[in-house]
A and B are shown apart, each in its own frame.
Chain A
């Protein structure tokens, strides 16, 4: 074994037919001249034939073959692959159906979680939906109020007498809005008009309170009774409530204290 290891590797690769053409030609030329190399190649060939011809080739035993077949079949049926008893290897329609069913039932542990998620979604919407509706109406009321102020066309029926304003509105709407007439204290009914809020024609009553314009939008409500809620947006103060089947939305640029006092009057009047 005194040959350099690179030579020995080359000889092995030569015997295995793994040398590239150039290296092979060089080695063949060397082999012609070198008896020792030839002897080595001879030896390697002999060993190669001996191992190939005589070393035992362990073919898979039948038991293993059956077991592996069963494992594949079990996989096809979607089960944990343990099967001491042999099952046919073929994937028939029955096991295919089982696999599909097993896939479906694999979702079963998730059902309570999905139900809970659905319930949370439902309740959240139930809570948030009225809030969102209020927000939308709030925006519409502000828009109507600002539009009317800018156009300087707030009043269609000009009267401080609710006996004039109410019939006028009733004749133009499909409902009769309560019209509050302030008795004293710097507030006065200026008149009313018909406007459009929340997808329907509504009554808009216009008051003056200490130099500030106050508007009250009224229309039949879905809920007959609801407590007063205040809001503030873009410098306007808003309040809304339901009473006697009517929704009231009041908007003004009054200061908060006077606004809430006025709202208290309005909401308890009719």
Chain B
């Protein structure tokens, strides 16, 4: 049971970050109701562990709890999404771009919808780092702590996440880009 003093501290320090908690849960579950459930569960966990929380930055700590709760929830309810991720160099070849069907192209007319769809379509490990980086504006170090991976992995996942976003957002531009890149000496610059 959490002591009254800790509860008060929790209300003052952690509850203001409820938006961040919900945003992360919503992007990871991609569903309002599920995010709702996950955040409640995460708050319960956070309450339980809050007494042992030492530090002055509650937001990354709370997001870490939310992230763990989310992954536990997804593993149980949607194991299909939890494909293990290969972070090695050989795995750099990213999955193919989104489909080019007419209704998808029509949806792209709205850039906002386009970006949200592209972000939601990212594999969870990439989505996670990109949301934490761009929407929560967290440092690589903080993201590494939340996602429980080394900073180097955060770096490469972010790079891949952005490459995937780029592919999804501007498939028609890619051939042109390749044409520009191809004639250049590959990896020889110092």
Contacts and interface: CB of A to CB of B under 8 A. Distances in A.
Interface of A: 1-5, 7-9, 11-13, 16, 18, 30, 34, 36, 39, 43-44, 47-48, 50-52, 54-61, 63-65, 67-69, 71-72, 75-76, 78, 81, 89, 91, 96, 99, 103
Given A59-B22, A91-B8, A16 B140 contact: yes
15 contacts: A1-B163, A1-B177, A1-B181, A12-B155, A18-B139, A48-B162, A54-B116, A56-B116, A58-B35, A60-B18, A65-B18, A71-B40, A75-B7, A81-B44, A91-B4
A3 B187 contact: yes
Size class of the contact patch on chain B: 35 or more
Contacts of B165: 47, 51
B65 interface: no
B158 interface: yes
Q: Give chain B's interface secondary structure class.
A: helix
Given A2-B182, A2-B184, A68-B40, A43 B166 contact: yes
Given A5-B92, A65-B18, A75-B2, A39 B180 contact: yes
A76 B140 contact: no
Contacts of A1: 163, 177-178, 181
A13 B166 CA distance: 17
B70 interface: no
B86 interface: no
A9 B116 CA distance: 23
Interface string B157-173: 01100110110010000
A47 B162 contact: yes
Contact of B47 (A30, A75, A96): A75
Contacts of A67: 40
B12 to A, nearest CB: 11
A86 to B, nearest CB: 13
Contact of B22 (A5, A64, A69): A64
Contact of B19 (A39, A50, A60): A60
A65 B7 CA distance: 16
Interface in B19-45: 19, 21-23, 26-27, 32, 35-36, 39-40, 43-44
A12 to B, nearest CB: 4
Interface stretch (B52-60, B76-84, B98-106, B130-138): B130-138
Nearest to B18: A60
B89 A58 contact: no
Given A59-B19, A64-B40, A78-B1, A7 B10 contact: no
B20 to A, nearest CB: 9
A64 B186 CA distance: 52
A36 B43 contact: no
Given A12-B159, A51-B119, A54-B112, A72 B15 contact: yes
B11 interface: yes
The 3 A-B pairs with the shortest beta carbon distances in the complex, nearest first, are: A60-B22, A58-B26, A4-B187
A44 B119 contact: no
